[in-house]
Amino acid sequence: MSRKKDWDYIARLEKAISEKYGSEAIQNPSSNWDDEKEKEYLKQIKKIAIKDTLVNEQEEMVEIDGFLVSKKLLNKDGNTNCPVCISYLKTIKDDIYIAKYECCENCFIQYIENREDRWKKGWRPKNEDYKVEA
């Protein structure tokens, strides 16, 4: 079944659309496209591709002790352990304390809180001062 185009209907429809939404709504999209807009569009596409690549890299999985862990969950150094107590970094707060004090939140509370000057001078606990939780 082939239907013939009703040119009068199409003209009325275009007129109604242009009255409601403006004349740009019925124009061919490529009528205002030029080389300058094409270059800008290609730049935007490249930026989006770069962002997608970064997101995909963060979503990649890494095997740690037989488990797959998202790279996004690892801190920036790729180290998942506290250098002081060697426990796994589990929270966002752990990442914050690692960045500032090079230890997890628990070690901060136990060894650094209210004693920051001593920590900044280089004091670190001895191995027998802390217990590793299993």
Q: Give pLDDT, residue 134.
A: 39
Of the candidates 15, 12, 31, the one whose C-alpha atom is nearest the C-alpha of residue 23 is 15
**Across 87-99, average pLDDT:** 82
Cα(24)–Cα(5) distance, integer angstroms: 23
Q: What is the dihedral of CA 38, 39, 44, 45, to 10 degrees?
A: 70
3-state secondary structure (DSSP) of residue 70? strand
**Across 99-128, average pLDDT:** 84
Q: Which two tokens stand for residue 105?
A: 């939140």
The helix/strand count (H/E) of the chain reads as: 5, 2
Q: Give pLDDT, residue 1.
A: 44
Q: Give pLDDT, residue 48.
A: 92
Q: For the whole prediction, is pTM greater than 0.85?
A: no
Any bridge partners for residue 88, and if so which?
A: 81
User: Domain residue spans in the chain?
Assistant: 7-58, 72-129
